[in-house]
Every structure is written in C-alpha cells, then in structure tokens.
Chain A
Amino acid sequence: MIVRQQDRVLVQGITGRQGSFWTERMQAYGTRVVGGVNPKKAGSEHCGVPVFASAREAMDQGGFDASVLFIPPLAAKDAALDAIEAGAKTLVMLTEFVPVQDVMAILAAARAHGCCVVGPNTAGLVTPGECFVGIMPGFNENIFQPGRIGVISRSGSLGTLLCLNLVRAGFGQSAFIGIGGDPVSGTTMREALERLDADERTDAVVLVGEIGGAKEEEAADYAAGMAKPVVAFIAGRASPPGKKMGHAGAIVMGDQGTHASKKAAFEAAGVRVLDMPSGVGPALSAALAG
C-alpha cells in the first residue's frame, strides 16, 4: 500500500473527464502510467498511453502492478473484479457510494487473489518525490515533500490539511495512505499502520481519523505496542449525533464510534491526540525528541 516510482499503473476509466485530468497530473509528477481501460475506446491512445478493453487485456499486453479506478459506483464491482482476476497487486478504489455488499464481494475476491485493495472512497496514495496514485495534490510542494513521516487518513481533504501543516513545520512524508471514508474498507487504519511501522523510511506516523466505526480503536490496539511515535487527529468532536446506526449494528460496535471513545483508546495506547490540525508539527517534534 506504499506506491513506488517503478510501479506500473493502469487507469480504469482513463478517458473520462476526471480520469484524464488526474492521469495527466500523475504522469507529470512521475507516476509510471502504462495504460488505461475503456472497452468502447480499446485500441486507441489517451494521455499518451494505450487504451485497453479490459484490465485482463492490459495484463496480457505488457502488464501492470497497480490499478486505479475512475469508475461510477454501480460499475465499480465489475471493473474491480476485472483488475483483481487479472492479477493486480494493488487496487486503488476512488469511487464513493459503491454498494457495501459489492465492496464485500470485491474484498473476498481480493483475498483469494492476494490483491491489496485501498478504499473505496479514498483519495489515493502519495509517495512524495516518487509518484502518486489517485486524486491527492501530490504535486503541490506546500503539501507534500519527501520526508520521514507516514500519514494515514480516512479523508482526502483533511489528510491534505494535515500534510500541509506537516510541511509548514518542516516535516516531509515517507508515504500518504488514504484508507477512505467508507465503513467497509480494503485497507484498515490498523493495516496501514502495521505497514508504516515496518517501513524503514518512516520514523513516525500521523493518523487522521473521524467519528463513526471502529477503525481508530483497532489502530490504537496496534499502536500500543509500537516503538515509533504516533500522533492522531480525530474529526467530528463538534458534530451532532450522525446517521443512526441500526440496533444490531450497535452491538458490533459496542460503545465505539464516538470522538470520546477514539480519543480514550488512543491516549491509553500512548498516542497523542491533537486538538487542532495545526498542532501536528510541535506534537511530532516533541514525540521524536522524547
């Protein structure tokens, strides 16, 4: 779930407006885009790379490592299964509003084929100085600089703000991992944290969470045993009670999901929880000095 410059990237939905806009930016930054997919425009060229009928065809004709989906919600499942069954190592699902049962089916296929899914409803992955995959402003030097801080975020916009505050404080990022804002995710906050804990280029991790679900609590469990410093910001302290969870859903969540629950879980694990995103620089400096 950390993208590298040598990774060959396929763009499913490359010919759409957003697919084109972001493919050009990825290419300009150094991402190795090797092709795109649009069954209706197979055989043509777009953004200087070949357009294939399917991910399977792209795999057969040159191959790819990671695929990124610019595909509407109800078509996302077929596109994802195409990439997974073709042998994608990583699948970045940007799409919001993919039906949850479709996501579960995609993740079951990914487990069977050994594919790492990031998202859905993610802004993607950035490795500053190397490449980015998705819809993050990886190219903006006020926001992303090569460095040694790993960032994991449920939100693209809020993750961007935290990265901005890191750069302002003189830090850079080893990797940005957008896990996405959906309840069911291919990569959880805990899994991303495990990856950054094992990453030699990462000295400390910033977790950007929000209310709802139990991803922060799961990550806190892992963070408790980490040697690398971890700091966190959790959005939603001032939010009114949100979408009501079903009765049986509440049992799965227990008392998890509130800002207070997440803050308590992090603090019990030794993770410093920020009041404001602008506090990230001083908190990291203190944690790394200690």
Chain B
Amino acid sequence: MNFEEHAAKPLLAEAGIAIPEGAVAEDSAAAAGIAARLGPVVVKAQVPAGKRGKAGGIRPADTPEEVAQAAEAILGMTIGGHQVEKVLVESRADIARELYAAVLNDPASRSPLVMFSTRGGMDIEEVAASEPAAVRRLVVDITSGFDKTQAEDLLSGLDLGSAGAAAAEVLAKLYALYRARDAELVEINPLVVTGDGRVVALDCKLALDDGALPRQGDLAEAGAPEPMTGLEARGRELGLRYIELDGPVGVLANGAGLTMTTMDAVVHCGGRPANFLEIGGEAYTKATAALELVLANPRVESLVVNFCGAFARCDVMTEGVVAAWETLKPEIPVFFSIHGTGEDEAVALLKERLDMEPFDLMDDAVKAAIEAAR
C-alpha cells in the first residue's frame, strides 16, 4: 500500500525526523489560508506517483494570491494516471544541500537495505549509474538491526560537514520507522540541509507491506486507495484479485501464475482477454462470486475456465462455477480445462450438471473461446 506525501510525513515526524510545517488543502481558498500563516511556501500535488515536479505539480509561491493561483493550476491535473484532488502547502525551506536516504526490502540479499546519497533531489538510479561513488549502501542483518553508530560508519568520508551527525541520526530513525511500520520502502528525497544547518525531510515516499497491514492498526486508513474500476472495487470487497481489461474473452483460473498464463495463451492465439481473475490460495471456495464478477463485465462474449488444482481443489472450484451457472443461466459459451487435485470429481460434476466435457489442453479451450467471441 502506497502513501501520499502528506500521509507519510507525519510518520517521519513521529519517528523524530524534522519535516516542514504545512497542511493539506482541497481548494485554492483553503490553500491561500494555510499560506497566510506560513509565509513563502511550496504547493505540492498529492498523488501516489513520482515525477510530480516534472509534471508541473510542485510550485513555489510567495503570497496567498500566488498560492491560490498555484493550487488552482495543480488541482485537477492528472499525474501518473492519478487525478490531483489535494495539495500540500508547506513552508519553503532554505536549501543549502540536497541528500537522499532510504530503507527498503532487498530481495537480492533477502535483508533490509539502507541507502544514502549526497546527490539528493535527482533520480537515484541516474545517480547510481553516473556517479556510483555518491551512493552508499548497507545490507543490514535484521537480527542485530541498524543504529546510529552503523549509520555514522556508512556515512564516513562523505564530506557532510557539521550535518553528518544529524544525517546519521535520520538514517537510524528511518530504519526504526521501517521496522516498526513494516515498510517495503521508505525514502526521503530530498533530505535537505538548511542554511542554518538543520536536516529536514522535504519529501517522503512510503510503501507498506500489504501482508503486515493486519498488525498495523488503523494505519491502512491513511494509505492511498488504488485507482480501480467499479468491477475491480467489487472484486476487492469479495477478496478476489480482479483486473479489468478490454478484450472479449473472459478468464477464470486458479493461481496467479496459471491465470497470467491463460491470458498469455489468449493473446498468443490471437485473442484479447477481458480480465485477470484468480481464485487460487484461500479464494478457491469463492468460484461463484468470481464467476458473477467475470460475467458482470458487458464486454465478455465467451469464457475460458482453466483449473490446474494444487492447493485449490478442482472439485470445489468447479462446484462453485456450476452452481453459479445454474443460477445465473448466462447465454455466453464457456470452455473448460480441468486438471490436478480433485480433477476426476470435477469432470464428473461438469458432465452431470452441465452436460459438458472439459478440453484436455488449455490451448484448445482458449482457441475455442476466442473463436466463440468473434
């Protein structure tokens, strides 16, 4: 789950990392009102996407009138596919130097990774490519953790002057935040040194591990909702992973790998899938709800049901589909391929209740569904 800047920064402040004073506004009058008490500010689009500055979504403003104009221009913009509905109005910092700090889950080392750079405010991958010496990294032993002493070691020799100690402290606090909140990634870019020598987080990107949300209390409520269609939202409510696409061939399969592959097969054989919908894992008993969801998409003209049961039992999934079919009585053609756990029972069920035979090969079920959708 991603957090917009205005939702992430209070967590930095809680962790003891300085942030500029500011507040969120949803219209230009409110933005001007905030600016009236702050003086020179920056008006920043709030969307869970990068490249806001390049898109014109971050603007400095000196007077309440300028702030109102900036907010007017930014609100309603679309950045990275997200419509801007709020702006963050923040005190403008006196920037002497821009740094970069991040802690993230690193699949390669299977450990937390702490990163720091003296070239903040830029794309960190560009810095890493053009000036690798400016980026410091440390793979952390999660059992022993990461404290200020290790942070000082990581930053040693980096010419940070008097800001070095404060920067090390920020890194240690950032690691503590990453651990306490089950972050996948927490990144401050830029982390600035001000004219009077303070170290302040001017931006923050935060992604939490969805698997850990149940133990993070109310934190999920502050996260940014993913943009989704009506059907995708319904899928989410039902606990199903559903993605709406623009083709006519409905896809229902179990497991992420097999569902992606069924979509790949539709495309490979010259068709276009209508959706991604997987009912593997614990969702395999939800076949009835899943089928209703697939059929609710008006573009669907045929359906391929592809089950390869491992944990998910084909008999349970097929029972769900057949029951839904008997209730909904859809008029579109459906083509099955069924193998794996519970296969014999599932095939017998299909024969008895719908008088249908599954295709032996997924390829043939997919080809038949594409043909029927033409």
Contacts and interface: CB of A to CB of B under 8 A. Distances in A.
Contacts of B243: 240
Contact of B258 (A143, A157, A254): A157
B215 A157 contact: no
Given A157-B257, A247-B124, A278-B362, A136 B310 contact: yes
Interface in B264-313: 264-268, 273, 276, 280-282, 308-312
Interface in B104-146: 104-108, 110-113, 115, 123-125, 128, 141-143
Interface string B37-81: 000000000000010000000000000000000000000000000
Contacts of A156: 255, 257, 280, 310-311
Nearest to B179: A101
B179 to A, nearest CB: 7
Interface stretch (B148-156, B163-171, B203-211): B203-211
Nearest to B278: A157
A249 B184 contact: yes
Contact of B280 (A157, A213, A236): A157
Interface in B3-49: none
A251 B130 CA distance: 13
Contact of A105 (B142, B209, B276): B142
A248 B362 contact: no
B311 A123 contact: yes
B255 A251 contact: no
Given A123-B311, A143-B340, A108 B111 contact: yes
A227 interface: no
A137 B341 contact: yes
Contacts, number: 195
B179 A239 contact: no
Given A97-B211, A248-B104, A240 B310 contact: no
A24 interface: no
Contacts of B90: none
Interface string A121-137: 00100000000000111
A105 B255 CA distance: 27
A238 B263 contact: yes
B2 to A, nearest CB: 7
Contacts of A275: 268
B216 to A, nearest CB: 10
A248 B115 contact: yes
A236 B273 CA distance: 13
A160 interface: yes
Given A246-B184, A252-B113, A100 B211 contact: yes
A142 B189 CA distance: 54
Interface in B176-221: 179, 182, 184-185, 187, 189, 205, 207, 209-212, 214-215
Nearest to B111: A104
29 contacts: A18-B311, A73-B211, A73-B214, A96-B282, A97-B211, A104-B105, A123-B310, A137-B341, A140-B343, A142-B339, A143-B340, A154-B257, A156-B255, A156-B311, A157-B259, A157-B308, A158-B255, A158-B257, A158-B308, A161-B339, A184-B105, A235-B258, A247-B187, A248-B185, A248-B187, A249-B185, A276-B265, A276-B363, A278-B361
In the A-B complex, list the 4 residue pairs whose CB atoms are closest, starting with the nearest.
A155-B257, A157-B255, A158-B257, A246-B185
